[in-house]
Amino acid sequence: MDTSFWGNTFTGIKIRPTQKLFYRKFLWRLVVDIPSGNLIYSKLATMSEAVEDRRAHARSYNWAGSWLNGGHHRGNSLALTDVSLLTIARNIKNRYGNTIRIRVEEPMIQFYAADQETLKNIAREFTHTGDYQSRVKEINGPKSAEQADILLTGAIIRRTAPGYRYKVVLRDGRYTTEIKKQVLAYLENLDDQIRITPKCQEMLASPYIHIWGVFFYTDDPDLTIMLRMIAPDLVGNIHELIVLDK
């Protein structure tokens, strides 16, 4: 990672290593503070129109007595909204298309790319117009080519060992309570062959049909064969855990 570029260009930026692939394909992530960021998906011709449309929509509701009451889609967000900043972000989205991925979690927009140079070019967009360098908050990427190669295998880089070699992630989704009971019973019967968190046990035992963020650790990925018999689409990813000292 070119830490000198990021540190010298964007004061206060957090520079953090990538521990696993983003969306199974991207090594790099850039986080930029852009209030009302979802407006980059607006179908209106200009960002000025999109902002005014959101403002009018906010006024049509009584947010606890005032549309200026807090919240991402309320006055606080709109008061901080910058049309020029949003225009830069939408132009990036349109220019790069499917070569990057964008995730909006207002007020932050996350840009994902396969290589560092793409995110450098995107980050530079926020240095050309206005005083936006401080909006660039975080960059994530592999520390070295060696770590990039490890990540591209689907492995997760850890600083400490969890005691097991693999992390098995169950696919988020809807499952019947009967399937969830079978999965939980199977996992619990494996004893110390796996490690599952209390939160995951609670989710599998709950009467609700949705699960998310459920995973366990094991040394034997073949244990997932039975899980696939219970529910063919249940197993999402199996990541090898690689522990690096630095």
The verdict on residue 84 lying in a domain is yes
Domain extent, residue 204, equals 156-243
pTM, two decimals, is: 0.80
User: If you count them, how many residues does the chain have?
Assistant: 246
Q: 3-class DSSP state for residue 169?
A: strand
Residue 78: predicted pLDDT: 72
In a domain, 116, yes or no: yes
Q: Quick check: is 200 in a domain?
A: yes
Residue 151 lies in a domain: no
Q: Are residues 161 and 222 in the same domain?
A: yes
Distance, CA of 67 to CA of 46 (rounded, Å): 23
| DSSP three-state, residue 119 | helix
Q: Which residues of the chain have pLDDT under 70?
A: 59-77, 130, 245-246
Model pLDDT, residue 49: 87
Average pLDDT along the chain: 88
Give the total number of structural domains in the chain: 2
Mark which of 89, 115, 144 sits at the end of a domain: 144
Are 37 and 67 in the same domain?
A: yes
Is there a single domain that holds both residue 130 and residue 219?
no
What's 179-243 look like in SS3?
Answer: HHHHHHHHHHHCHHHEEECHHHHHHHHCCCCEECCCEEEECCHHHHHHHHHHCCCCEEEEEEEEE
Q: What is the pLDDT of residue 123?
A: 95
Q: Is 150 part of any domain?
A: no
C-beta of residue 132 within 8 angstroms of C-beta of residue 88? yes
DSSP-derived 3-state class of residue 31: strand
Q: Is residue 34 part of a domain?
A: yes
What residues does 212 pair with on adjacent strands? none
Domain boundary among 144, 178, 197: 144
Query: Does residue 177 sit within a domain?
Result: yes
Domain boundary, last residue among 144, 172, 187: 144
Same domain, 62 and 107: yes
DSSP alpha helix (H) spans, the chain:
3-9, 47-59, 75-80, 83-96, 116-128, 145-152, 177-189, 198-205, 224-230
Q: Give the per-residue pLDDT at 73.
A: 46
pLDDT of 47:
85
Instruction: Indicate whether 36 belongs to any domain.
Output: yes
pLDDT digits (tens, 9 = 90+) for 152-196: 999 999 888 778 999 999 999 999 999 999 999 999 999 999 999
Are 11 and 115 contained in the same domain? yes
Cβ neighbors of 49 (< 8 A, separation 6 or more) are 42
CA distance 106 to 103: 9
